[in-house]
């Protein structure tokens, strides 16, 4: 058994790991003939189908604030406070979700059953954007709060937590994880770009009334729900790492993980800040009040398609350098884009350049963070503990949603303090300047902090030895 220092594993490994390691080895033996098998486009698309659906849903959530302020006529500060308050439910829900997923054992798999939660996400999203505007402020607040909790805090939680659990049981090789996280992300980006182009233009035509908002969301929700179910229907859990183990995950294992695996907190901070920035939804306000043309968001978003070839470079870059260094480089590129955003105002050329640089820099974190969760699971196994991908996913899932909600919430509060109100078409200079800060300078400061924190993530250098040691230990149990 390995001691707490990063040493090698001795032959007298703890018996408590025996069944777990035999299960893993059994899965490896059963997948020997798949060693050189490549993932086809069909399987890649089906795997990413749910990411397409949930990703577009998160983008729609970015328009919730302006829906509440300009259509429901709710104060910006109140909207921000409501979204932040909804996150008070997330702590217990996320911790419980990770524990439940790690304990799940059904005929169709461990992570796969939770894919059906995409149905709940879209149902409550449609209800969220269907609030009658004639209700009192109190009732509208309660409506938005409850729908947001169900869509984001409950159903999206189980989707996020189960994602890595599903991945390691649907694919058997590290190369597969990198492939679906990089090449597969091309598919997601194409759909996201299509959404970013079409939604603002449709919004400019339809979202001029409460009924228009309902129709707009339904137009996107129904097909995206059907797309989101494709992964559940088409991808089975074939990499069986659980059938031979009798080990049960206990609640104390969750707290042991939280106490001993400090690398997951680096990942958690990273995704927190990333989602704080990307979910503020300030772009809608920027193009409405600074550029004065909300429909222009679509064509500018389309220019982000030029970043797609970057994803082909990820696998060789990761082999030569590391995931962390790639992410830090991306953060630097995004910061350059945000500097351009600050000076762009309504200059189309500068807006395009800033959008491309921000989009390109964001790609590594948005597409490759799942690989770091798998690294943390390998680290757990290396130290003689259960892998617990579900619990690790709940930690990052929790900070993802907290970041997204606080991004929207803080933006609403800051806009409220700066004098913004949805009842007037011309905003005061203080509100306009705040919108510019949120669109540029504030993200720069936060990304600089993330880049510094990522320097403490040492698993990139340890993971080759960790996987080698884990493999050797599995072979010992096999023989």
What pLDDT, on the 0 to 100 scale, is given for residue 188?
86
The contacts of residue 150 (CB under 8 Å, 6+ apart) are: 120, 124
What pLDDT, on the 0 to 100 scale, is given for residue 240?
61
What pLDDT, on the 0 to 100 scale, is given for residue 322?
82
Q: How many residues does the chain have?
A: 479
Q: What angle do CA 441, 446, 448 make, to 5 degrees?
A: 95
From first to last of its 479 residues, the chain has per-residue pLDDT tens of 444 334 433 333 333 333 334 433 443 434 444 444 677 888 889 999 999 999 999 889 888 988 998 899 998 888 878 877 776 666 567 767 877 888 888 888 888 999 999 999 999 999 999 999 999 999 999 999 999 989 988 898 888 888 888 988 888 777 777 778 777 778 888 888 889 889 988 998 998 899 999 999 999 999 999 999 999 999 998 876 544 344 566 777 777 888 888 999 999 999 999 989 988 888 888 998 998 888 888 788 778 777 777 777 777 777 777 888 889 999 999 999 999 999 998 899 999 999 999 988 988 888 788 888 888 988 888 888 877 887 887 788 778 878 877 887 788 889 888 988 876 667 888 999 999 999 999 999 999 999 999 999 988 888 888 888 877 876 776 55
What pLDDT, on the 0 to 100 scale, is given for residue 30?
41
335-340 long-range contacts, CB within 8 A, separation 24+: 335/361, 335/443, 335/444, 335/447, 335/448, 336/361, 337/361, 338/439, 338/440, 338/441, 338/443, 338/444, 338/447, 339/440, 339/444
Domains of the chain: 41-235+251-478 (1.20.1250.20)
Dist. CA 412–CA 280, nearest whole Å: 9
The contacts of residue 298 (CB under 8 Å, 6+ apart) are: 196, 197, 198, 199, 200, 201
Please report where in the chains the tokens 């790991």 appear, as a residue: 17
- Chain mean position to CA 200: 22
* Per-residue pLDDT tens digits for 364-406: 888 788 888 888 988 888 888 877 887 887 788 778 878 877 8
What pLDDT, on the 0 to 100 scale, is given for residue 227?
96
What pLDDT, on the 0 to 100 scale, is given for residue 67?
92
Dist. CA 89–CA 92, nearest whole Å: 6
Q: How far apart are the first and last CA of the chain?
A: 17
């Amino acid at each position: 058994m390995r001691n707490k220092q990063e040493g090698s594993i001795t032959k007298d490994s703890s018996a408590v790991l025996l069944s777990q390691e035999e299960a893993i080895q059994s899965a490896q033996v059963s997948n020997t003939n798949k060693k050189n098998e490549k993932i086809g486009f069909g399987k890649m698309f089906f795997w990413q189908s749910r990411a397409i659906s949930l990703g577009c849903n998160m983008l729609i959530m970015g328009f919730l604030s302006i829906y509440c302020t300009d259509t429901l006529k709710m104060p910006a500060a109140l909207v921000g406070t409501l979204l932040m308050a909804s996150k008070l439910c997330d702590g217990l829900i996320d911790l419980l979700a990770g524990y439940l997923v790690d304990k799940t054992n059904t005929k169709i798999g461990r992570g796969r059953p939770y894919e059906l939660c995409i149905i709940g996400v879209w149902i409550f999203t449609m209800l969220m954007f269907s609030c009658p505007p004639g209700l009192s402020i109190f009732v509208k607040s309660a409506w938005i709060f409850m729908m947001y909790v169900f869509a984001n805090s409950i159903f999206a939680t189980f989707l996020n937590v189960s994602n890595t659990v599903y991945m390691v049981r649907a694919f058997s090789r590290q190369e597969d994880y990198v492939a679906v996280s990089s090449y597969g992300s091309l598919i997601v980006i194409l759909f996201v770009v299509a959404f970013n182009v079409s939604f603002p233009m449709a919004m400019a035509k339809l979202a001029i009334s409460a009924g228009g908002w309902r129709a707009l969301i339904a137009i996107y929700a129904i097909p995206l729900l059907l797309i989101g179910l494709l992964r559940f229907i088409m991808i089975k859990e074939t990499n069986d790492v659980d059938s031979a183990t009798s080990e049960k995950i206990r609640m104390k294992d969750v707290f042991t993980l939280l106490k001993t695996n400090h690398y997951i907190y680096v990942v958690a901070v990273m995704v927190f800040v990333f989602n704080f920035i990307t979910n503020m939804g300030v772009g809608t306000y920027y193009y409405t009040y600074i550029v004065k043309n909300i429909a222009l968001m679509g064509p500018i978003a389309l220019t982000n398609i030029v970043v797609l070839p970057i994803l082909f470079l990820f696998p060789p870059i990761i082999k030569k350098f590391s995931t962390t260094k790639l992410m830090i480089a991306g953060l630097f590129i995004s910061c350059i884009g945000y500097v351009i955003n600050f000076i762009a105002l309504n200059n189309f050329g500068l807006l395009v350049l800033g959008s491309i640089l921000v989009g390109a820099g964001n790609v590594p974190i948005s597409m490759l963070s799942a690989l770091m969760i798998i690294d943390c699971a390998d680290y757990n196994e290396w130290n003689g503990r259960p892998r617990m991908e579900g619990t690790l996913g709940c930690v990052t899932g929790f900070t993802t949603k907290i970041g997204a909600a606080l991004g929207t919430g803080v933006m609403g509060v800051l806009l409220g303090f700066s004098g913004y109100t949805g009842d007037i078409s011309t905003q005061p200079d203080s509100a306009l300047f705040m919108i510019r800060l949120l669109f540029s300078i504030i993200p720069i400061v936060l990304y600089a902090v993330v880049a510094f924190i990522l320097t403490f993530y040492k698993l990139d250098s340890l993971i080759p030895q960790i996987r080698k040691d884990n493999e050797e230990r599995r072979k010992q149990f096999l023989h």
